[in-house]
A and B are shown apart, each in its own frame.
Chain A
Amino acid sequence: MFFSRRERLMMEPQKILEVKSLCKYFKTNNVVNKAVDMVDFSIAKGEVLGLVGETGSGKTTIGRLILHLLKASSGKIFYNGNDISHIRGAALKNLRRQMQIIFQDPYSSLDPRMKIFSTLTMPMKALGMFKGKETDRAEYLLDLVGISSSALNRYPHEFSGGQRQRIGIARALAVDPEFIVADEAVSALDVSIQAQVLNLLKDLQEKFHLTSLFITHDLSVVHYMCDRVVVLYMGRIMEIASCKTIFENRLHPYSDSLINAIPIPDPEKEAQKELNIPDNYFEESYEIPEKGCLFHPRCPKRFEKCKTQTPQLINAGNDHGVACFLYEKG
């Protein structure tokens, strides 16, 4: 019996990953930088969750916290119902078998002195998987991502950016994980190559029933890849909703300005936007407000309350969360 990914999502709604009140504070020269502040979300099995935001919104930090590449300041992370916030040693190693990451930069994420064969088989050896079948597995992985097996004896510098990113994907899949964090996986690629890699990621997700956290700054890519979206701003969640809702019925003024700012490859629509959006619509401000909503210095709809109080994430119905006083009831 064959089910599409959508249908499987409906059938198995269990949460594979959940983060609760996750915080990461960096201290430099006695200044505390709240990179991630009280973030809550969950990902269902088979779901692709998009994490979007501008530079400094904490999206990469969240990805790294989940993978234990960074230690959280406070908060909890649950994986398949188990608290993994403080695990180490063998349990952490076992977790690595199930969670993998695809990095942004295909030039620096592969070891330049390792042949592709070693890059692909090292995770298997480290975790003691596929013993004796490493070569077969490596060939199979390369085949999956559309690279000929002659690549095994070559070095990363012999490949183009797109090919290297494919190898990065093969490496992430080497230990047969069920959860993948893709951190700006296509941002460094040219448009025509980006389309190839996006299609590849989509196919692999379908084939291996992968659950993913897809981190990107590009909302067009989110629209193509994700089921649900989290919009981050300065480390806090502004809005969380299904992909369709974010693009069609978004509530938060920040999500709105993000989407309106994307230049659409259609001159007529752009000319229309030029007329509809006032000159001062996208306000810029780089100071982090001491109190109030983090977005209020840039918000076109701010009012008095926004300057003094911080809005909490409230439920606006239908799994749609928004942190904005405009939508508070009563």
Chain B
Amino acid sequence: METILEVKNLRVSFTTQQQKIYAVNGVDFSVARGEILGIVGESGCGKSVTALSILGLVPSPPGSIDSGQVLYAGKNLLNLTPKQWRSIRGEKISMIFQDPLSSLNPVLTIGQQMGEILKYQKGLNFKERLSSIYELLVKTKITQPELRVKQYPHELSGGQRQRVMIGMSLSCNPDILIADEPTTALDVTVQANVLRLMKTLCRENGTALILITHDMGVIAKMCHRVVVKYAGYVVETANTKDLFNNPAHPYTVGLLLSLPRFDQQKRRLFSIEGQPPSLKKLPVGCPFAERCHKAKEICRCQVPELENHNEKHTVRCFFPEGKD
């Protein structure tokens, strides 16, 4: 498959009054056309910052991209001028945020805000805009589109708002869609519908999807490939089936065992001791060493490299599972 986006050795930091905080530490991954890539990790592991830096949305200052490249169709996006960015954002790469109520403009009707991108990116006139808005609303399975275009975001339910966001983000047929926890605020039945909708639309349009989530169930449902993050580092990447069947990093292993599962016999949950390190004071060695039952001397003084474990399976660990 043709690679459409490649992130190479990306490092993003934020400067506070006291110190520099590394939110993203040497992240590498690539996405192919039509592929669904999942980025999974706990709060504060730098998932969202990774997504924001792909779109050049890291606020600077205090944020800065220290090194790395984001290659889209062979071009490094990080060197673009603001004008060049405008032709990328929304048109080639678009984004859906977690909370649709705060990402939609509360004083514009649904029709007005959906029309904006069609006006500025595609140059459509009023009539054309209206008909493409209806088309998008039907595509995202919103009932009564004639009524919805005149409504304000607060008059819609959470699921409908997220559908509007999806419709907006797909209005220019982008190559890449980044969805940052798109269903976390939704009820499970609505989540099931919204996820299915995203999957179908991306398949139809050949759009690559980068799905950021903390929910391993959503990963299993949606993704072809997974990137597991921990404390700003990528600790493991693999095909979804491979990751769930043969997790290699002790963190991934522990994470999968600590999920309560109703489809399995009840057993005491495994719990990873301790808590993730604060990004303000990352340890010298492997960031997971403190909580890892396999940790040896070397883990505490050196950060392991992301190395090939199996075919298409990389892991950042000196002593990965299944290789002793």
Contact B217 A262 (CB under 8 A): yes
Q: A54-B189, A259-B262, A265-B259 are in contact. Are A192 and B217 (CB under 8 A)?
A: no
Q: Is A177 close to B, CB under 8 A? A: no
Contacts of A195 in B (CB 8 A): 258-260, 269-272
Q: B258-302, CB under 8 A of A: which get 1 and which 0?
A: 111111001011111101100000000000000000000000000
Closest 6 CB pairs of A and B: A263-B217, A195-B258, A223-B262, A190-B42, A265-B216, A54-B187
Q: Looking at the assembled complex, report how far the CB atom of A179 sits from the nearest CB atom of chain B, in whole angstroms.
A: 23
Instruction: Choose, from A34-42, A104-112, A278-286, the stretch at the interface.
Output: A278-286
> How far is B208's CA from A242's CA once the two chains are assembled, in angstroms?
43
Q: What are 12 sample pairs from A and B whose C-beta atoms fall under 8 A apart?
A: A54-B187, A54-B188, A190-B42, A191-B216, A195-B260, A196-B273, A224-B260, A258-B188, A261-B191, A262-B262, A263-B221, A269-B263
Q: Looking at the assembled complex, report how far the CB atom of B264 sits from the nearest CB atom of chain A, in whole angstroms.
A: 9
Contacts of B176 in A (CB 8 A): none
Q: Is A264 close to B, CB under 8 A? A: yes
> How far is B212's CA from A49's CA once the two chains are assembled, in angstroms?
33
Interface size on A, residues (CB 8 A): 45
Smallest CB-CB separation from B267: which chain A residue? Answer: A224
Smallest CB-CB separation from A262: which chain B residue? Answer: B188
Contact A268 B187 (CB under 8 A): no
Smallest CB-CB separation from A277: which chain B residue? Answer: B192
Interface size on B, residues (CB 8 A): 43
Contact A199 B260 (CB under 8 A): no
Q: Is B255 close to A, CB under 8 A? A: yes
Instruction: Choose, from A127-135, A148-156, A214-222, the stretch at the interface.
Output: A214-222
Q: B165-206, CB under 8 A of A: which get 1 and which 0?
A: 000000000000000000000011111110110000000000
Contact A266 B220 (CB under 8 A): yes
Q: Is B54 close to A, CB under 8 A? A: no
Smallest CB-CB separation from A298: which chain B residue? Answer: B189
Contact B269 A160 (CB under 8 A): no
Contacts of A257 in B (CB 8 A): 189
Contacts of A264 in B (CB 8 A): 217, 220-221, 261, 263
Q: Is A123 close to B, CB under 8 A? A: no
Q: Is A312 close to B, CB under 8 A? A: no
Interface residues of B (CB under 8 A from A): 42-43, 157-159, 187-193, 195-196, 214-221, 240-241, 244, 254-256, 258-263, 266, 268-273, 275-276
CB contact list, A57-72 vs B, under 8 A: none
> How far is B43's CA from A191's CA once the two chains are assembled, in angstroms?
10
Contact A282 B193 (CB under 8 A): yes
Find A191's partner among B157, B195, B214 (CB 8 Å cutoff). B214
Q: Looking at the assembled complex, report how far the CB atom of B232 sits from the nearest CB atom of chain A, in whole angstroms.
A: 15
Contact A258 B271 (CB under 8 A): no
Q: A174-194, CB under 8 A of B: which get 1 and which 0?
A: 000000000000000011111
Contact A192 B272 (CB under 8 A): yes
Q: Is A292 close to B, CB under 8 A? A: no
Q: Looking at the assembled complex, report how far the CB atom of B71 sits from the nearest CB atom of chain A, in whole angstroms.
A: 29
> How far is B187's CA from A268's CA once the two chains are assembled, in angstroms?
23
> How far is B260's CA from A222's CA once the two chains are assembled, in angstroms?
9
Contacts of B255 in A (CB 8 A): 191-192
Q: A199-B271, A261-B188 are in contact. Are A192 and B221 (CB under 8 A)?
A: no
Q: Is A75 close to B, CB under 8 A? A: no
Contacts of A263 in B (CB 8 A): 191-192, 195, 215, 217-218, 220-221
Interface residues of A (CB under 8 A from B): 54-55, 160-163, 190-196, 198-199, 202, 217-224, 247, 257-270, 274, 279, 282, 284, 286, 298
> How far is B214's CA from A169's CA once the two chains are assembled, in angstroms?
25
Contacts of B258 in A (CB 8 A): 191-192, 194-195
Contact B260 A223 (CB under 8 A): yes
Contacts of A284 in B (CB 8 A): 157, 159, 189-190, 193
Q: Looking at the assembled complex, report how far the CB atom of B220 sits from the nearest CB atom of chain A, in whole angstroms.
A: 5
Q: A191-B42, A195-B269, A258-B188 are in contact. Are A279 and B263 (CB under 8 A)?
A: no
Contact B189 A258 (CB under 8 A): yes
Contact B189 A261 (CB under 8 A): yes
Contact A220 B221 (CB under 8 A): no
Contact A223 B266 (CB under 8 A): yes
Find A286's partner among B157, B241, B261, B266 (CB 8 Å cutoff). B157
Find B260's partner among A221, A258, A268, A282 (CB 8 Å cutoff). A221
> How far is B258's CA from A266's CA once the two chains are assembled, in angstroms?
14
Q: A191-B216, A265-B256 are in contact. Are A219 and B272 (CB under 8 A)?
A: no
Find A55's partner among B43, B187, B244, B263 (CB 8 Å cutoff). B187
Contact B271 A192 (CB under 8 A): yes
> How far is B264's CA from A269's CA once the two chains are assembled, in angstroms?
12
Smallest CB-CB separation from A265: which chain B residue? Answer: B216
Q: Looking at the assembled complex, report how far the CB atom of A181 sits from the nearest CB atom of chain B, in whole angstroms.
A: 20
Q: Looking at the assembled complex, report how far the CB atom of A6 sits from the nearest CB atom of chain B, in whole angstroms.
A: 12
> How far is B272's CA from A171's CA once the two chains are assembled, in angstroms?
24
Find B275's partner among A193, A219, A261 (CB 8 Å cutoff). A193
Contacts of B268 in A (CB 8 A): 199, 202
Contacts of A196 in B (CB 8 A): 271-273
> How far is B220's CA from A163's CA once the two chains are assembled, in angstroms?
30
Find A192's partner among B241, B244, B254, B261 (CB 8 Å cutoff). B254
Contact A261 B220 (CB under 8 A): no
Q: Looking at the assembled complex, report how far the CB atom of A274 sits from the nearest CB atom of chain B, in whole angstroms.
A: 8
> How far is B157's CA from A260's CA once the two chains are assembled, in angstroms?
22
Contacts of A162 in B (CB 8 A): 275
Contacts of B192 in A (CB 8 A): 260-261, 263, 282
Smallest CB-CB separation from B218: which chain A residue? Answer: A263
Contacts of A282 in B (CB 8 A): 189-190, 192-193
Other A-B contacts than A191-B214, A191-B258, 10 sampled, CB-CB below 8 A, are: A195-B260, A218-B260, A220-B259, A262-B188, A263-B195, A264-B217, A265-B219, A269-B263, A284-B189, A298-B189
